[in-house]
Structure 1
Amino acid sequence: MAGETKAANPGAARPVRKQRLRLWIRLLRARQVIEAELRKRLRDRFDMTMPQFDVMAALERNPEGMTMSSLSEALMVSNGNVTGIIDRLMARKYVAREAFAGDRRRFIVRLTPAGLDQFRSVATQHESWVDELMSVVEIDQAENALGKLAARR
């Protein structure tokens, strides 16, 4: 049966399927560790939460702005959560909210020039942190394997 055979390593005691399960659990744990470290660094260095960073990233990719609903959908969080995040970013003058033309109940949210500058600074540091945290990974092997997984979709 596929996945029941022993690993190519003759000394391996676990079936391949158990090794794959263990790898899956390690991937999940690694994601948790990396995310926790990024959250801590964002908080300590920039007094910013990961959701605030994510909102700013979405707005940076959409310079024309986004409605609250489209932000909610893009980030897969509730409108209420997005509203709280936007309120905190507005207090720091990183985003501006304006009424949607023809519908006063809808808003368009955009990064302010100060917000764009701040986001670019934070994003540069974030990229550096990810590079540091991922430096133990053999990139070519990991990208090849994960690419095969993604291609199954």
Structure 2
Amino acid sequence: MTAPDIDPLSKRRLKMWIRLLGVARAAESSLREYLRVEHGTTLPRFDVMAALYRRRDGATMSELSRMLLVSNGNATAVVDRLEKDGLVRRTASETDRRTVYVALTPEGLRQFERLAADHEREINALFSDLSEQDVEQVTALLKRMGKGDKA
């Protein structure tokens, strides 16, 4: 590509992307540390529990992996630990013995609801410098950016 063919906003968009990634990584790192220190848990455990909370009737391991955008092996390792801790249960499908459903146990549900409330408070604290108008603007921009789905 020759110089005249380059979009004049190209470098600025690249810098924007790097800044966006930096903000997301910093927030995620802070959240990981918060969950570890305050709750003795991990972000992957929280994410699995959140996905299962949204699917109260349970999900297959393949569905769970797709929902979380992780490999079956990664999801299985987290589910194994959650099951050992009594927070999820596995149930074999009645129609296909190769299919296993995973769902939160009543204790998993209670723990997740406490975790989710603290998670929300922590996210609120992380972004407390943003005004209501800032939040609306950033949200609108991110929605617009997501509509392209080029990635």
With the shorter chain as reference, the TM-score category is 0.7 to 0.9
- Secondary structure (helix, strand or coil) at the match of 1:30 reads helix
Q: Distance in 2 between matches of 1:55 and 1:146?
A: 24
Instruction: Show structure 2 runs of 5+ residues with no match.
Output: none
Deviation for aligned residue 1:17 = 4.0
Q: Is 1:56 matched up with 2:49?
A: yes
Pick aligned residue for 2:110 from 97, 117, 127: 117
Deviation for aligned residue 1:123 = 0.6
Instruction: Show structure 1 runs of 5+ residues with no match.
Output: 5-15
Computing the radius of gyration from Cα coordinates, the structure with the larger value is 1
Which of the pair is proportionally richer in helix? 2
Task: State the Cα deviation string for residues 76-119 of structure 1 (Å, max 9, x = none).
Answer: 11111111111100111100111111333321111001000000
Q: Is 1:90 matched up with 2:83?
A: yes
Q: How many pairs are equivalent?
A: 142
Paired residue for 1:7?
A: none
Q: Distance in 2 between matches of 1:66 and 1:148?
A: 30
Q: Distance in 2 between matches of 1:64 and 1:146?
A: 31
Percent identity for Structure 1 against Structure 2: 42
Paired residue for 2:148?
A: 152
Pick aligned residue for 1:76 from 50, 54, 69: 69
Task: State the Cα deviation string for residues 24-70 of structure 1 (Å, max 9, x = none).
Answer: 11110010000011111111111211111111111111111111111
